[in-house]
Amino acid sequence: MDKIVIHGGRPLNGCVSASGAKNAALPLMFATLLAPGPHRLGNVPRLRDIRTAEQLLTGLGASVQNEKGILEVFAEDLNGKEAPYDLVRTMRASVLVLGPLLARCGRARVSLPGGCAIGARPINLHLKGLEAMGAEITLDHGYVEARAERLHGARIYLDTPTVGGTENLMMAATLAEGTTVIENAACEPEIDDLAAALRTMGAKIEGDGTATITIEGVKQLHGMDYQVMPDRIEAGTYLIAAALTGGSVLVQNARADHMEALLSKLEETGAACQVTEEGVRVTGPAQLRPVDIKTQPYPGFPTDMQAQFMTLMTLCGGSSMITETVFENRFMHVCELQRMGADITIEGHTATIKGVSELLGAPVMATDLRASACLVLAGLAADNTTEISRIYHLDRGYESLEEKFRCLGADITRVPAEQ
């Protein structure tokens, strides 16, 4: 397996560009199943999850061409095949084919994803919402089978504002008969991006970005031509790197309006955040101050930035606290940070991080995507060598990570596995 080797301890300075957002691109790719197309998606990041999504679409009968971040999808003849376990287990977002397939073809068969490193992550709210729209749902040997001649509009209250659930139901409702209202819907910017793309396909959606989304179903949709929004989590990771190493980094294309919770917390640590026409710049302070954060659905502090922010807290002068409220098991990175000299204790959903004077390079292992990013950040701040294994997680969500950090002056290399 490949490794990443970092010789840390250098301030990072310069400019990188935010790639297209993985978590916006994936639902947009699955939305192409709603209409024959042709569909054209621009600013699609080069990531392993995108390749998995391409495989899934192809397996379902679509044809996909990807040239330099421009994806063309033709989804004329969907062959009614299933979303198989082998793909769904490597990428949970695959369950987002359920709503579009059911709405367009009247039938869908999708493997249940099972648990994952950060929590149980059920899809009960996706299924409950589809049932409210008239779908007949059965579970068969680890697969969800959903059928409905034509879905109908419904009033759906989500017990928790699930991002994927909101996306699945919003896509399904675009072709349903009548009006669907999703209450307690997720408000993440990726939901807005999906709604905007669906509108370009002819869908009638209002209220995205608020807790109540209203979708008036139409008989059919047409192809889309859409640019994926910039990745707010990737951008945030580079901005934290600047604060952590006492450097100054401009992330071009970063949207400050998507990152208000993060930028406000960075300012509390003493970092200077500057919003320019080009993007967002963060400059690290001489000494970081401790802060407390609580992860919450958008516009709260994103759970996807929790691990990276924890690395920053390990070097704050005092005691900081993180309360994780979105996922039940998202502290897997703590043990690895402790191996690098961090002083962290966990009680239930709360981690207390006492700042230390330095992090020590060490061999560490990545457990999930954002945990991997937090270890890269720790390696960049530590003043000797850090070796990170199981970096395939990083390739799921960070485009050209080593190149981008090298542009900022980091000494980071990928060492291919010995054959």
Residues near ligand EPZ, by CB under 6 A? 23, 26, 92-93, 119-126, 160, 162-165, 186, 303-304, 326-327, 369-370, 397
What is the spatial distance between Cα 264 and Cα 91, in angstroms, rounded to a whole number? Answer: 32
Smallest CA-to-CA distance from 329 within 164, 95, 121, 49 is with: 121
Shortest Cβ 44–ligand EPZ spacing (Å): 14
Shortest Cβ 256–ligand EPZ spacing (Å): 19
What is the spatial distance between Cα 28 and Cα 337, in angstroms, rounded to a whole number? Answer: 35
Tell me which residue has tokens 């954060």.
Answer: 293
Smallest CA-to-CA distance from 19 within 87, 84, 68, 72 is with: 68
Shortest Cβ 274–ligand EPZ spacing (Å): 26
Nearest residue to ligand EPZ, scored by beta-carbon proximity: 164
Nearer residue to ligand EPZ within complex by CB, 170 or 315: 170
What is the spatial distance between Cα 295 and Cα 312, in angstroms, rounded to a whole number? Answer: 15
Strand residue runs (E) in 299-418: 319-323, 343-347, 350-354, 363-365, 385-389, 411-415
Shortest Cβ 330–ligand EPZ spacing (Å): 8
Nearer residue to ligand EPZ within complex by CB, 281 or 370: 370
Tell me which residue has tokens 């608020």.
Answer: 210
Active site residue 116: yes
Tell me which residue has tokens 């493997």.
Answer: 111
Shortest Cβ 333–ligand EPZ spacing (Å): 12
Nearer residue to ligand EPZ within complex by CB, 123 or 224: 123
What is the spatial distance between Cα 56 and Cα 25, in angstroms, rounded to a whole number? Answer: 14
Catalytic residue among 15, 105, 116, 335: 116
CB neighbour burial string for 102-135, b if at least 16 within 10 angstroms, e if fewer: bbbeebbbbbbbeeeebeebebebbbbbbebbbb
Cα 304 to Cα 281, 330, 331: the distances in Å are 20, 10, 12
Shortest Cβ 301–ligand EPZ spacing (Å): 11
- 3-class DSSP assignment, residue 295: strand
Nearer residue to ligand EPZ within complex by CB, 283 or 308: 308
Active site residues: 116
